[in-house]
Amino acid sequence: MLLANTLHLHLDRLRQPSPPDRFRRFSQSGRILLLLLGFLLSWPVAAHPVATAHVQAELIGETTAIQPGQPFWVALRLQMRDGWHVYWRNPGDSGLAPTLTWTLPAGFSAGEIQWPYPERIPVGPLMNFGYHGTVVLPVQIQPLSSLPDQDTFTLRARADWLVCQEDCIPESADLELTLPTQADPAPMDPRWNESFA
């Protein structure tokens, strides 16, 4: 019995990978981890969406990075609870359109909201124009042609809107989107392809 146990112990030791094999496995795992980390660091970093009582709001980017001097699109994405709506730039007989107040890095500028075509929203004898469900309100951002030696830039905006069902409630959110810089043209962010189409 003692001989069998001793033999079993020696066989177990022989089956264990040698230190170089263990290192090789760690090395492969380490390489995979580094690749994943590099991929994640190149992905745009967005703050979590802000949820109010009736709307989830966030800033989204068309591209995954900022290229010096090249304009790019960022949008306010509003997702309303069922039955609630926000307004178009011309709200109709009542209501107020969403607004954005930007705080941008030095030298950056923001254009006007590009409004998608609205729905007609009849309310009794009144006719309003706006959006149910989800709406994406794009704005073109112009960065400096020569960016400071910095890895990322954070775009901040205060969003205000009036959300209505039977009653109307003013809501707001402080939003931000952080994007890395890149000398080459930046790829589209696949999460938002349809939003910017």
Which pLDDT does position 187 carry in this prediction?
A: 84
Verify that 107 and 134 share a domain, yes or no. Answer: yes
Helix (H/G/I), strand (E/B), else coil: 175: strand
Verify that 14 and 108 share a domain, yes or no. Answer: no
Which pLDDT does position 41 carry in this prediction?
A: 40
Separation CA 42–CA 38 (nearest Å):
6
Verify that 35 and 62 share a domain, yes or no. Answer: no
Positions in the chain short of pLDDT 70: 1-47, 149
pTM above 0.95, yes or no: no
Which pLDDT does position 147 carry in this prediction?
A: 81
Verify that 102 and 8 share a domain, yes or no. Answer: no
Verify that 80 and 105 share a domain, yes or no. Answer: yes
Q: Hey, what amino acid is at 30?
A: G
Separation CA 49–CA 80 (nearest Å):
13
Which pLDDT does position 38 carry in this prediction?
A: 41
Separation CA 94–CA 115 (nearest Å):
18
CATH number, domain with residue 97: 2.60.40.1250
Number of structural domains found in the chain: 2
Verify that 92 and 158 share a domain, yes or no. Answer: yes
Verify that 37 and 109 share a domain, yes or no. Answer: no
